[in-house]
Amino acid sequence: MTVINPLYIKHHDLSIRFIESYAIRKFIYNGSASNMYKTHKDIKRGWSHWADAYSSKASQNQRALMKDLNSGVYQDIDSFYASLKELLKPKPRGKALKDKKKRTSQKAFQKESLGDAFIDNNQLISAAKKASLDLADANADQPTIILRAKVLAELYSHDAPLTDEQLQTLIDLINNQIDKHLKLDRIEAKILDQNNKNLYFMYGKIKRTINVGETIELGLASASKLCGCSRTDVKPTLKELEKLDFIKCIQKGKQGSTIGRSSIYRREH
């Protein structure tokens, strides 16, 4: 018998605890509650309470997940966990939702203004933004930048080769990103002047994790893990990075929230 450690046994939403435990009973213990209870005492203690919470408070999406679980949509525990993880992703609200709409409208504007030169390939755009960091660090000349753009186009758009106009759009994008990365030198100098290891390490981790304009979830737990600092250092560190205009908080999280609201930051430079 496969031994499994529940991932959400301490989740703030009791309905999630119940759904996960239900799936564990189904896939790991062939539907036997008694066998599950022998291994998982914590599930045994909480089962009735969690079941009541699910019955009275489960959301529509949670009930849909349970329906899929009972109807055979998931063939194993791994496929179930993949859907549960997707369900629990932080949903954009407030400023974050407004920011998402703004980015969507910006893409529509670019598509209209660029016309046939517009590149509708998110994977290629993301790869180009990441490559621009290495090119900036290497102080690459224009022929090197053009060559890298052509290589990326071949790798990520081989099924639909770019036109000459689209290739120029890609080159312009990389050059613009390089300019933004070079601006980081001034931000980095200010960080170094503060002799704050947590500040520098958080800056470096975010810089390597997301591109300019992209967002990242940085709650107390995730930010502490990313930086390797204590939770008490997280808020002042992120606040200082905001003051330096490196990141911007577009959604403030709520501890203990039942709606899965996490702190979301957008990288500005």
* 190-200 mean pLDDT: 90
Of 26, 24, 18, 22, the C-alpha closest to 5 is 24
Beta carbons within 8 Å of 185's beta carbon, 6+ residues apart: none
**Where does the pLDDT of residue 92 fall: very low under 50, low under 70, confident under 90, or very high at 90 and above?**
low
Angle at 120 between CA 117 and CA 124, to 5 degrees: 100
Kindly report, residue by residue over 219-255, the tens digit of the pLDDT. Answer: 888 899 998 899 999 999 999 999 998 999 988 877 6
Identify the helix (H) or strand (E) that includes residue 125: helix 122-137
Read off the tokens for 251.
Answer: 């959604």
Q: What are 213's two structure tokens?
A: 């304009």
Please report the pLDDT score of residue 66 as a whole number. Answer: 94
| pLDDT at residue number 257 | 45
147 has pLDDT over 90: yes
Say which residue, 242 or 120, is predicted with more confidence: 242
Better pLDDT: 82 or 182: 82
CA distance 22 to 12: 17
Whole-number pLDDT of residue 258: 46
Q: pLDDT of 6-48, one tens digit each?
A: 999 999 999 999 999 999 999 999 999 999 999 999 999 999 9
More confident residue, 45 or 158: 45
Percent over 90 (pLDDT), the chain = 53
pLDDT attached to residue 64: 94
Query: What value does the mean pLDDT take over residues 95-118?
Result: 70
pLDDT of residue 122: 85
Evaluate if residue 116 carries a pLDDT over 90. no
Instruction: Count the alpha carbons within 13 Å of 133 in the hemisphere toward its beta carbon.
Output: 14
Q: What local confidence, expressed as pLDDT, does residue 192 receive?
A: 86
- The predicted pLDDT at position 256 comes to 52
Other CB atoms closer than 10 Å to residue 261's CB: what's the count?
A: 19
